[in-house]
Structure 1
Amino acid sequence: MAFFTWDVNPVLLEIFGLKIHWYGALFAAAIFAGLQVMKWIFQQEKVKLALLDSLLMYCVVGIIVGARLGHCLFYDPGFYLSNPLKILAIWEGGLASHGGGLGVILAVYFFQKKYKLEYLWLLDRLAIATALFGFFVRFANFMNSEIIGIQTDVPWAVIFARIDLLPRHPAQLYESLSYLSIFVALLLLYRITNIKKHSGALLGAFLCLVFTARFCIEFVKVKQAAYSGELLINTGQALSIPFFAVGIYLLLQAWKKSRI
């Protein structure tokens, strides 16, 4: 069977010796797209648009710092604790979405304390933008031929020629398309239902949907953690369980309050 071969240069273009990578361009597109979603929501709810600039800075710092620390501490703690300066070498690659999520949650906490916004109200709305953000980032991983899937012979398997010549699950595309679908679902819920009136419900739905998808897709990913070994579930799945549990809790709390 002839499989699709993927052999794209991770460098999008080079100008006067300055290399612009696909990952960087798509990461910037993710931030821009998420900002536009939040701008539209703020306009719908008559919230000052001037707050978005500060919110953007808090979120970007939270994502990058959290994702980097998450990668270092969740996936290869032995190496990074022995070489702490390597934690700062972000240009060498290595960002973990679970860490990025925790970083944003913490950053938004400090933001809302400063600007006096309701915490869950803000996280609910950021959940919509974050799902779209995830779509771009996972597609960037596909462009980079990273976070690859395990070997398979399904008709849609992809050969990542920059890695090897084995047909593999395009796990990055599975995740990317899942997050895009979740974005559409959350946006529709926001627009045509009363879910936004129930504090924590949108965030709960986001956590349940995203981390269910993540848990399932991890079964067809190459293990990333240095210490995964022969565990029944891998690090990405283990880290997804608490997020899913928080999502269930938020949905139950929102449901209980709606019945009072």
Structure 2
Amino acid sequence: MLSYITWNFDPELVNIFGHEIRWYGLCWGVGILAAAYIIQKMYASEKLPEKWFDSLFMYVVIGVMIGARLGHCLFYNPGYYLSHPIEILKVWEGGLASHGGVIGIIIAIWLYSRKVTKKSMLWTFDRLVVGACLTATFIRTGNLLNSEVFGVPTNLPWAFRFLRSREYMHLVPNMDMGCHPTQIYEALVYLTLFGLSMWLYWKTDARNRQGLILGVCMIGIFLSRFLIEFLKNVQEPFELEMRATYGIDMGQLLSIPFVIWGIWLVWNAYSKNVSELQTAKK
């Protein structure tokens, strides 16, 4: 048997009176706090009202959690959850979709822009997405610690044998192969985009080209998601039929509009000169 990386990390951080708290939850929390710190520094550097940041944090956290949960339930298993709506509330049992989280954030920022800043949504997103890339890095790290959201079996030397995953045991019952650690692939992409977006914001005029930073991140996040998805296991059985019929699964289908949007945002940002954007900025 080839030598693979054996992954046997205990996902439980602590158990309090029979209630399990996982490293995954800690990763979510640290990711959100780290993003908040970075965005707060951006707001402070632009001398913006402190209440703007406080409101942003509240809007985004509520939007991403509701959106990610509803996205998982309605995109991947709508029949079950519409028949058992109370199950939607059981977030502790797992099931969050990144595409749903993005939609939830879009709605939250629409409300935030109308009610708080009176600025365009793109202005807010160009700052928010920088922190979001870092949060996404922590979330995918949490998936690794949970031994979940990994890829198909492979004989590559960096493949992982996820000993605590029932899915892995089903895919590779003899444990004679590993699986693609797609959580790491995605985490590295998001970390790279975080570094790139930080450079764009602090070292270039990108902050004055509304939609540019957001567009770059949308292309990077969802194009990489589309490509890495070819290496991942499907989340729901119906996606096997989708792959057989159309060659792509639900995650890839949902990624296409975001990639197109990102390309348009970059084109639109460069179709206007900076002085015009600064004058028209609201």
TM over 0.5: yes
- The answer for the alignment partner of 2:23 in structure 1 is 22
CA deviation profile, 1:147-181 (whole Å, cap 9, x unmatched) = 11100010100000012234100001100111001
Q: CA deviation at 1:258?
A: 2.2
1:18 CA displacement? 4.6
Q: TM-score, normalised by structure 1?
A: 0.96
Larger Rg: 2
Aligned residue for 2:49, secondary structure, equals coil
Cα separation, 2, equivalents of 1:96 and 1:58 = 18
In the alignment, is the contact (CA less than 8 A) between 1:76 and 1:226 conserved in 2? no
Question: What are the Cα deviations for residues 50-91 of structure 1, in whole angstroms up to 9, with x where unaligned?
Answer: 322221111111011000110011111222222222112211
Task: Give me the identity figure in percent.
Answer: 42
Report the count of equivalent residues. Answer: 260
In 2, Cα distance between the equivalents of 1:14 and 1:223?
Answer: 30
Do 1:123 and 1:203's aligned partners in 2 also have CA atoms closer than 8 Å?
Answer: yes
Instruction: Name the structure 2 match of 1:207.
Output: 218
Aligned equivalents of 2:35, 2:118: Cα separation in 1: 19
Q: Which moved more, 1:33-42 or 1:117-126?
A: 117-126
Matches within 5 A, 1:107-186: 107-118=108-119, 119-163=121-165, 164=169, 165=175, 166-186=177-197
Offset at residue 12 of structure 1 (A): 0.9
- SS in structure 1 of the partner of residue 257 of structure 2: helix
Contact kept, 8 Å, 1:225 with 1:235, in 2: the verdict is: no
Contact 2:12 2:21 in 1 (8 A): yes
Determine helix, strand or coil for the equivalent of 1:159.
Answer: strand
Alignment correspondent of 2:172? none
Question: Contact 2:52–2:117 at 8 Å: present in 1 too?
Answer: no
2:89 corresponds to which letter in structure 1?
L
User: Can you give the 5+ residue segments of structure 1 that lack an aligned partner in the other structure?
Assistant: none
TM superposition score normalised by structure 2:
0.89
Name the counterpart of 2:280.
none
Give the unaligned 5+ runs of structure 2: 170-174, 277-282
Q: How does 1:193-232 map to 2 (within 5 A)?
A: 193-228=204-239, 229=241, 230=244, 231-232=246-247
After superposition, give the CA deviation of every residue in 1:182-233 in whole Å (9 maximum; x if it has no partner). Answer: 1001111111111111111111111011111111110110011331122301
Cα contact 1:195–1:201 (8 A) shared by 2 = yes
Matched residue SS, 2:271: helix
Misfit runs of 4+, over 6 Å: none
1:30-109 maps to which residues of 2 (within 5 A)? Answer: 30-109=31-110
Q: Let me know the Cα RMSD of the aligned residues.
A: 1.4
| Counterpart contact for 1:75–1:226, Cα < 8 Å | no
Instruction: Determine helix, strand or coil for the equivalent of 1:5.
Output: strand
The Cα shift of 1:16 comes to 5.0
1:256 maps to 2:257 = no
State the one-letter code of the partner of 1:250. L
Q: Secondary structure of 2:50's partner?
A: coil
User: 1:68 is matched by which residue type in structure 2?
Assistant: R
The one-letter amino acid paired with 1:132 is L
Asked if 2 retains the 8 angstrom alpha-carbon contact of 1:74 and 1:225, the reply is no
